[in-house]
Amino acid sequence: MKRRYRITPEGAGQEPTDAEIARYRDPKRLIYNYTKAVQRPKRPLYKDPKAFLLLVLIVLFAIFMSELAEDRQPAEPSGGTEGAPPPR
Protein backbone atom coordinates (compact mmCIF):
# COMPACT_ATOMS: atom_id res chain seq x y z
CA MET A 1 0.00 0.00 0.00
CA LYS A 2 1.49 3.30 -1.06
CA ARG A 3 1.18 6.26 1.20
CA ARG A 4 0.73 9.70 -0.22
CA TYR A 5 1.63 12.75 1.76
CA ARG A 6 0.72 16.31 0.98
CA ILE A 7 3.48 18.85 1.43
CA THR A 8 2.39 22.43 1.01
CA PRO A 9 4.70 25.34 0.23
CA GLU A 10 3.02 27.38 2.97
CA GLY A 11 4.63 25.15 5.60
CA ALA A 12 2.99 24.62 8.97
CA GLY A 13 0.03 26.86 8.24
CA GLN A 14 -2.44 23.97 8.14
CA GLU A 15 -2.53 21.56 11.04
CA PRO A 16 -3.72 18.04 10.20
CA THR A 17 -6.96 16.90 11.74
CA ASP A 18 -7.19 13.98 14.15
CA ALA A 19 -8.69 11.83 11.41
CA GLU A 20 -5.72 12.48 9.11
CA ILE A 21 -3.25 11.70 11.90
CA ALA A 22 -5.04 8.44 12.69
CA ARG A 23 -5.03 7.49 9.01
CA TYR A 24 -1.22 7.77 8.78
CA ARG A 25 -0.50 6.16 12.14
CA ASP A 26 0.91 2.66 11.78
CA PRO A 27 2.51 1.33 14.98
CA LYS A 28 3.49 -2.04 13.49
CA ARG A 29 5.46 -0.37 10.71
CA LEU A 30 7.10 1.99 13.21
CA ILE A 31 8.21 -0.90 15.41
CA TYR A 32 9.48 -2.82 12.37
CA ASN A 33 11.55 0.15 11.15
CA TYR A 34 12.93 0.73 14.65
CA THR A 35 14.00 -2.87 15.21
CA LYS A 36 15.50 -3.08 11.73
CA ALA A 37 17.55 0.07 12.34
CA VAL A 38 18.65 -0.74 15.90
CA GLN A 39 19.24 -4.48 15.95
CA ARG A 40 22.45 -5.98 14.63
CA PRO A 41 22.15 -8.33 11.69
CA LYS A 42 21.49 -11.94 12.63
CA ARG A 43 24.00 -13.40 10.19
CA PRO A 44 27.71 -12.64 10.70
CA LEU A 45 29.59 -10.94 7.88
CA TYR A 46 31.67 -13.96 7.00
CA LYS A 47 28.51 -16.03 6.40
CA ASP A 48 26.81 -13.40 4.23
CA PRO A 49 27.90 -14.15 0.63
CA LYS A 50 27.92 -10.56 -0.61
CA ALA A 51 29.69 -9.16 2.44
CA PHE A 52 32.21 -12.01 2.40
CA LEU A 53 32.99 -11.38 -1.27
CA LEU A 54 33.49 -7.69 -0.52
CA LEU A 55 35.85 -8.49 2.36
CA VAL A 56 37.86 -10.88 0.18
CA LEU A 57 38.14 -8.26 -2.58
CA ILE A 58 39.35 -5.64 -0.09
CA VAL A 59 42.01 -8.01 1.27
CA LEU A 60 43.18 -8.98 -2.22
CA PHE A 61 43.36 -5.32 -3.22
CA ALA A 62 45.45 -4.52 -0.11
CA ILE A 63 47.84 -7.38 -0.90
CA PHE A 64 48.11 -6.21 -4.51
CA MET A 65 48.85 -2.63 -3.44
CA SER A 66 51.52 -3.78 -0.97
CA GLU A 67 53.20 -5.83 -3.71
CA LEU A 68 53.25 -2.78 -5.97
CA ALA A 69 54.75 -0.66 -3.19
CA GLU A 70 57.53 -3.23 -2.64
CA ASP A 71 58.36 -3.27 -6.36
CA ARG A 72 58.66 0.52 -6.52
CA GLN A 73 61.12 0.89 -3.64
CA PRO A 74 64.58 1.82 -4.93
CA ALA A 75 67.23 -0.86 -4.58
CA GLU A 76 70.10 -0.07 -2.20
CA PRO A 77 73.55 0.07 -3.81
CA SER A 78 75.68 -2.95 -2.98
CA GLY A 79 79.05 -1.22 -2.78
CA GLY A 80 80.26 -3.02 0.31
CA THR A 81 79.63 -0.05 2.67
CA GLU A 82 76.82 -1.64 4.59
CA GLY A 83 78.56 -1.58 7.99
CA ALA A 84 80.57 1.61 7.45
CA PRO A 85 79.49 4.89 9.09
CA PRO A 86 78.36 7.72 6.81
CA PRO A 87 81.09 10.14 5.60
CA ARG A 88 81.63 13.42 7.50
Residue 10: per-residue pLDDT:
67
Kindly report, residue by residue over 12-49, the tens digit of the pLDDT.
Answer: 667 778 887 887 788 888 888 888 888 877 777 778 88
Residue 71: per-residue pLDDT:
83
Contact 38, 32 (CB under 8 A): no
Amino acid at the residue 2: K
Distance from C-alpha of 49 to C-alpha of 57, rounded to nearest angstrom:
12
Give this prediction's pTM.
0.38
Distance from C-alpha of 76 to C-alpha of 27, rounded to nearest angstrom:
70
